[in-house]
Structure 1
Amino acid sequence: MFPRVQLSRCASVFTRQTNTIRHFVFKQFDSLNLTEHHLPSSFYCTAPKKTFESLLEPNDVGLPPEIPEYDTLALKFKGYDFTVLERFAKHAHSVLRSMTLTTECYPMPCKSIRVNTYRLNSTIIDKTYNLDLYERVIVISNLPSIKLSPLITLLTCNTPEGVMLDVDYLSPSDEESRYIPDRQLLELQGQLEEIAIAKKKKK
Structure 2
Amino acid sequence: MYSAQTQTHHQTSIIYEPEYLDHLSPEIPLYDQVNVYLKGYDYPVLESYQKYVHKVAASLDIDSGEGWALPPQKLEITRTEPNSSIVDATYHLNIYKRNLQVVDIPSTVMPIFIEAIQAGLPEGVDLEVQVHTELHDEERHVPDLELKELEIKLEELGGPRDVKPIKRK
Aligned counterpart for 1:140 among listed residues 102, 105, 109: 102
Distance 1:191 1:83 in 2: 40
Deviation at 1:112, TM superposition (A): 1.2
- Aligned pairs for 1:48-59 within 5 A: none
Counterpart residue number, 1:123: 85
For residue 138 of structure 2, the aligned residue among 164, 176, 200 is: 176
Equivalence map 1:47-196=2 (5 Å): 60=21, 64-103=25-64, 104-192=66-154
Larger radius of gyration: 1
Partner of 1:28: none
Aligned equivalents of 2:153 and 2:82: distance in 1? 48
RMSD over aligned Cα atoms? 2.9
SS at match of 2:21: coil
Contact kept, 8 Å, 1:102 with 1:141, in 2: the verdict is yes
- Secondary structure at 1:174 match in 2: helix
Q: Which moved more, 1:95-104 or 1:72-81?
A: 95-104
Structure 1 runs of 4+ aligned residues shifted over 4 Å read 61-64, 192-196
**Does structure 2 retain, via aligned residues, the 8 Å contact 1:109–1:179?**
no
Q: Distance in 1 between matches of 2:108 and 2:147?
A: 46
Q: How many residues align?
A: 145
Instruction: Give the unaligned 5+ runs of structure 2.
Output: 1-12, 159-169
Contact 2:30–2:107 at 8 Å: present in 1 too?
A: yes
Structure whose residues are more often helix by fraction? 1
* TM-score normalised per structure 2: 0.73
2:80–2:88 Cα contact (<8 Å) kept: yes
Q: Between the two proteins, what is the percent identity of the paired residues?
A: 34
